[in-house]
Amino acid sequence: MKILINRQATFLFLLSINYLIFARDEITINFIKSYIANENKPTFLVCRYVCWKQNEKLNLFKKLSNSGVRSSSIFQERHSIQDHALLYLVDLDCPDAEAALNVSSLHLRLPYRWLVLHQEMHQNSYNIQNLWNLPLFIDSDFVLAIRNGDKFMLSELHKPSTNGSTYSNPRGIYSGIFVDTRSNRQFFRRRQDIMGHPLTMANVIQDSNSSLYHLPREDRLELQYDPMAKLSWMHVHIAFQMLNATPRYIFSHRWGYKQNGQWSGMINDVNTGKADLGTNCVASSDRLSVVVFTDSMSNFKIKFIFRQPPLSYVSNIFTLPFSLNVWVAIILSVIISTLTIFLATKWEIMRLGKSQTQLDGNIRDAMLLTVSALSQQGCSIEPRRNSGRIMLFVVFTALMTLYAAYSANIVVLLQAPSNKIKTLEQLANSKMTIAALDVDYNRFILKAEKDPIRRLIYKKIEPEKGTAQYYSLNEGLERVRQGLFAFHSLTDSVYRRMEETYLETEKCDIMEVDFMNALGPFVPVYKHSPYLELLRVT
């Protein structure tokens, strides 16, 4: 009897232990389900680093599938389209936990997400202090969930600076119901304080070395020099202050171009990690391979700027005062006038006879009289009757009015600019001198284009025989003032100089033609910078 009681007690004890284990697994599964539901994001759960039993994994997958969440214990990354949905699940109580976290630092950062489970006082527990040595940068979405009984305490780990300490912030609590304790659900709103970590900007200085002094001080002096670098720095400096970063700056005299497989200038500084971001520049396919472009902080344009040539230079101004319909009307009027005068003089000859001062009634005399009126000249012969004289008076008066209007229009057209050059093709085929500002970006941009029109313009600027047409800003704008000269440069600097030196009448006929036909400039950022997304949203 005693033996039977002992067996029953042992059975009940084992049954209770089994229930507790099963209940514990149910709590963990429900916690994972609640965590994913609270995230409210497209999620693909990867359980590659979980040593659970097969039935426990199937139970987890079944519950997640019922909630519309995909999951798998085997996952091969073939492309990056769904990286933003991946959530890696790691159980630190598993033997392979250390190998699971020994991955590339890029996998511990966005867009990947991590949920790490840990149970206090577990005999096979992973040394949790090792997590503080992981490269969990500012853009790492790494959540540690520590279980104590039936309760989970969640915290997110990250380093404000790449070589700094790891910080832990409360993420939530689960005890049957998930309670989100984040100060802000927006990820980068919670990471805006990088605690004084230095961020460096590479600034391009080409106009004057005085910008090395004025740019960091933001004293708004000598704004005509390097306006793009100064404006970009002012915007970035504000962003650094918002992030509680220590602003640093370096300077370069070139934007950055690839020659013989090597990058130069600002792009090289950003690509090698010397700087976190740089001055606004134009995006190109080559640059996209080494840097990432974010928003445009200050727009600028690089165009051909010139004064429209005089109208007399490109058109026959003697045909322009009147429209085609007016010219046709004038010709018809002259013909009709000639015929009416001819008929009137013919009738006079029949009634009064001929005289030396009278028209002899032929068409030649009528035409001579009409041409005299058209050219505002007199004629020694004229009609004698009132009807003929009235006709002659009307003809002279009408043609005199037309002559006055024609002369006035000619005077205006002699002073008027044309509007014939509106496209790059028209500029290339014109007789204007084409030149560019003597800076590095012009030499690379003009040479890189391959279409026939742009190649023709490049050959005019850099002819095979002769002197290349590169000028300083002051010399180039002085030639633009004189006319028949197109100058390729940054429009901000050009217009500021024109405002100071040009007369109002010289500004009226300024014209632009775009050579690059590119999108606006964007801010280049170090491709693997952990602050990339943070700078974008700031």
What residues contact 310, with CB distance under 8 A and at least 6 apart? 414, 416, 417, 418, 483
Neighbours of 11 (CB within 10 A): 10
Which residues are paired to 304 by β-bridges? 488, 513
pLDDT tens per residue, range 333-358: 888 877 877 777 777 666 665 655 55
pLDDT value of residue 385? 67
CA distance 36 to 64: 9
For residue 336, CA distances in Å to 49, 332, 333, 395 come to 103, 6, 5, 10
CA distance 136 to 142: 7
Cis ω for the linkage preceding 417 (within 30 of 0): no
418-514 shares the fold of 2-189: no
Mean of all residue pLDDT scores within the chain = 83
pLDDT value of residue 476? 92
Determine the straight-line distance between the first and last CA of the chain, rounded to whole angstroms: 78
User: Residue written as tokens 């995006």?
Assistant: 283
pLDDT value of residue 16? 44
pLDDT value of residue 435? 93
The fold of the 317-415 domain, in CATH, is Helix Hairpins (1.10.287)
Q: What are phi and psi of 158, to 5 degrees?
A: -165, 160
| Strand order, beta sheet including 291-293 | 246-252, 198-204, 277-278, 524-526, 291-293
pLDDT tens per residue, range 355-395: 555 555 567 777 777 777 777 776 666 666 677 677 777 77
Instruction: Name residue 355's amino acid.
Output: S
pLDDT value of residue 2? 45
> Rounded to two decimals, what is the model's pTM?
0.72
Question: What share of the chain in percent tops pLDDT 90?
Answer: 24
Architecture of domain 198-300+522-537: 3-Layer(aba) Sandwich (3.40)
pLDDT tens per residue, range 88-147: 998 888 887 777 788 777 888 888 999 999 887 655 555 778 888 888 999 999 999 999
CA distance 207 to 224: 9
Per-residue pLDDT band at 271 (split at 50, 70, 90)? very high
Which residues are paired to 72 by β-bridges? 46
Q: Is 40 left (phi over 0), alpha (psi -120 to 50) or beta?
A: left
CA distance 490 to 299: 11
Which residues are paired to 345 by β-bridges? none
Which residues are paired to 145 by β-bridges? 117, 154
CA distance 376 to 130: 105
pLDDT value of residue 13? 44
pLDDT tops 90 at residue 225? no
Architecture of domain 418-514: 3-Layer(aba) Sandwich (3.40)
Q: What are phi and psi of 368, to 5 degrees?
A: -60, -40
Per-residue pLDDT band at 4 (split at 50, 70, 90)? very low
Q: Which one is predicted more confidently, 431 or 250?
A: 250
Per-residue pLDDT band at 316 (split at 50, 70, 90)? confident
pLDDT tops 50 at residue 86? yes
Local structure of 171: helix, strand or coil = strand
Q: Which one is predicted more confidently, 332 or 386?
A: 332
CA distance 346 to 469: 70
pLDDT tens per residue, range 179-215: 999 988 888 888 888 988 999 999 999 888 899 999 9
Pairing of strands 70-72, 44-49: parallel
pLDDT tops 70 at residue 9? no
pLDDT tops 80 at residue 157? yes
The fold of the 2-189 domain, in CATH, is Rossmann fold (3.40.50)
pLDDT tens per residue, range 427-462: 998 888 999 998 888 888 888 888 899 999 999 999
For residue 438, CA distances in Å to 88, 223, 475, 487, 490 come to 54, 19, 11, 10, 11
Where are the domains positioned within the chain?
2-189, 198-300+522-537, 317-415, 418-514
